[in-house]
Structure 1
Amino acid sequence: MPCRALVQIAGYAYRVRADVLLREFNQTGATFRLLLRYTQSLITQTTQTAVCNRHHSIEQQLCRWLLLTNERVNCDEIAVTQEAIANVLGVRREGITEAAGYLQDLRYISYRRGHITILNQRGLEEHVCECYGVVKKEFHRLMDHACESHAHRTPGIRLLSPIFPPTFPPVIPPVYPPTGLMSNQWRK
């Protein structure tokens, strides 16, 4: 069964052969439990995001997205365009431009073309809606124990570190067809 991944933020990718992962999962050991916990965390994030996108302002949604992304990339500078954020949040790019400008006026972020730098995380946390806290709390509830049990064997493990070693050479994201072409036209 072919799968596709969408890369939203620059960074490293990890891969494991499907048959290896499936065999490990079917042994119902640590990998099984970790993947189920991660799936539950992802479901929580997905449902909370749907609620957030319906009920909260674009500024609050942008704060939530920036804080969650910052935790995952572990860096205050995020290389991303306003259009990419607008697509993720399901809003118009102009709405993101306005929200980013507002947050920049408050000195919570610095924005230049294709780069957002978080200057005041506490300010973003005070401005964000409660959805950020719900997602963060559930993620830590589900994943802290799994990572702690792995950390005693691996000193210095980060909460979001992968469970499999990186591939070498690094995985290069696939190139998608140019806009306006059908997938069958692109393959020719």
Structure 2
Amino acid sequence: METVYFPQNGMISLIVQMPEDNSVEVGMVGSEGAVGMAVGLGSRVSLICALVQVSGTALCIPAWLFRNAAVQNVHIRDLIVRYSELQLGQIQQTAGCNALHAVPGRLCRWLLQTSDKIESDTIPFTHDFLGNMLGVRRSTVSQILSEFSAAGLLESHRGQITLLKRGELKKRACSCYEIVRRHIDRLLPQADKARVD
């Protein structure tokens, strides 16, 4: 890792690429966090690939300079440790979610988390993309989105999903959405505050 990125807006997916040429999302980064922050603690490699999903702006700093700042400043090190704990918790929760929860609840969780990260109820993704992020077939995503659309929870058009009833989507989301939100609030109290329904 040569650079640490601090997104100001947009959304970055943390993806695990499997040897079979499959991939699955295990975490997200928005304006609350950074990509590559662990270099401040000496980390140099990662099994996770960071992929910009919603473009935006980001501040960046060379990894060596960030590492030097972390060595010299206890507050920076504390923030790195808390954010690393946050990311690890998010990745663990997502792994459990992907293994144990039904696709409709996982899809609601993903839509809500993405909406929170990009601070918009309009999400610019295709059904195929969502299937890849959730590790399921596109047809499964299309069927669930069609059911949600018929229930008036969202509108799904080519390459774009608009959330209409966040409260209802929260009720249908698996428990992981709230678990991760509470984890963020506990570790980074000023970041990623809950949006008003």
Tell me if TM exceeds 0.5. Answer: yes
Correspondence 1:100-139 to 2 at 5 A: 100-139=145-184
Secondary structure of 2:52 counterpart: coil
Distance apart, 1:62 and its partner CA: 0.6
Is residue 54 from structure 1 mapped to residue 99 from structure 2 by the alignment? yes
Distance 1:18 1:139, change over 3 A: same
The CA distance in 2 between the partners of 1:95 and 1:34, in whole Å, is: 39
| Aligned counterparts, 1:85-104, within 5 A | 85-104=130-149
What is the TM-score of this pair, normalised by structure 2?
A: 0.70
In 1, the alpha carbon distance for the partners of 2:143 and 2:55 equals: 24
Greater share of residues in helix: 1
Give deviations 1:153-172, integer Å, cap 9, x for gaps: xxxxxx259xxxxxxxxxxx
3-state DSSP of counterpart to 1:5: strand
**Matches of 1:10 and 1:117 in 2, distance apart?**
18
Structure 1: which 5+ runs fail to align? 148-158, 162-188
CA distance in 2, matches of 1:135, 1:160: 11
As a proportion of its length, which structure holds more strand?
Answer: 2
CA distance in 1, matches of 2:143, 2:63: 43
Q: Which contiguous aligned blocks of 4+ residues in structure 1 show a shift greater than 6 angstroms?
A: none
CA RMSD of aligned residues (A): 1.9
* Equivalences, count: 148
| Change over 3 Å in CA distance of 1:114–1:143 after alignment to 2 | same
Letter in 2 for 1:123: E
Distance 2:182 2:165 in 1: 21
Matched to 2:75, the amino acid is: A
Q: 1:58 Cα deviation (Å)?
A: 1.1
Q: Using CA pairs under 8 Å that are at least 6 residues apart, name the structure with larger relative contact order, 1 or 2.
A: 1
- AA aligned to 1:124 is L
Structure 1 residues 1-188: aligned runs within 5 Å = 1=1, 5-144=50-189, 147=190, 159-160=191-192
Distance 1:2 1:83, change over 3 A: farther
Contact 1:63 1:124 in 2 (8 A): yes
Q: Partners in 2 of 1:31 and 1:63 — Cα distance?
A: 34
Identity %: 32
Q: Which letter does structure 2 place at the counterpart of 1:84?
A: F
The alpha carbon displacement at 1:30 in A equals 2.1
CA shift for structure 1 position 28:
4.0
Q: Aligned equivalents of 1:117 and 1:64: distance in 2?
A: 14
Quick one: structure 1 residues 115 and 63, their matched pair in 2 at CA, closer, same or farther if it must change by over 3 Å?
Answer: same
Note the C-alpha offset of 1:113.
0.8
Unaligned runs of 5+ in 2: 4-48
Structure 2 counterpart SS, 1:107:
coil
Work out which of the two has the higher radius of gyration on C-alpha atoms and give 1 or 2: 1
Assess, with a 3 A threshold, how the Cα gap between structure 1 residues 104 and 52 changes in structure 2: closer, same or farther. Answer: same
Instruction: State the secondary structure of the residue aligned to 2:68.
Output: helix
